[in-house]
Structure 1
Amino acid sequence: MCLAYPMRVTEIDGLAARCEAKGIERVVSLVLLQEQAVQVGDFVIVHLGTAIGTVPPEEAQHAWALLDELLALESAAQPKPARLGQR
């Protein structure tokens, strides 16, 4: 499954942007957003290392809240490994 996620632009160098989300930094291509005036501080939606759109900060926060819920549900559904000496 492919997933796009919001990241905040922290630095721009031509058609590349350093972006951050949840403490993770990535260099992201801005080639698909050449017609938009992406600025430091903007939130972009990143898919496969490429920014495919911009979103307002509120929408980025809402997207991360939903992703956090999904990750929590997935984590809760995973079987816990047995500890040594337990069956």
Structure 2
Amino acid sequence: MCLGIPGELVELAQDHEDLALVEVSGVRRRINVGLLADEELAPGDWVLVHVGFALSKISEQEAQAVLDYLEGLGQAYTDELDALSTSDIS
């Protein structure tokens, strides 16, 4: 199962405007934020991440609600975090 997971933006890439570092449940990965070019993104913002792309900007309250729900899914959520933690950060 592939899930959209909330992640908090940690930093925007200086050398590539479409990339950012995001933290998802303690795991940090580079993602593409190009789909949100019309949004003003800054560290501390929350985005919904799916297959390495930020799909939408969401509020911290929405992010927490989704994280709570995903944690309730158990193994599917754990599998998704495992896949994220083993993916390439470069």
Q: Which residue of 2 aligns with 1:4?
A: 4
Show CA shifts across 1:35-74 (max 9, x none). Answer: 11111100000011000101000110010000111116x9
Larger radius of gyration: 1
Which sections of structure 2, spanning at least 5 residues, go unmatched?
79-90
- Structure whose residues are more often helix by fraction: 2
RCO higher in structure (CA 8 A, sep ≥6): 2
Give distance in 2, aligned partners of 1:22 and 1:2: 16
Say if 2:39 is the partner of 1:15. Answer: no
State percent identity of aligned pairs. 31
- Paired residues, what number? 75
Report the TM-score when normalising by structure 1: 0.79
RMSD of equivalent CA atoms:
2.0
Spell out structure 1 runs of 4+ moving beyond 6 A.
none
**Unmatched runs of 5 consecutive residues or more in structure 1:** 76-87
| Displacement of 1:15 | 1.2
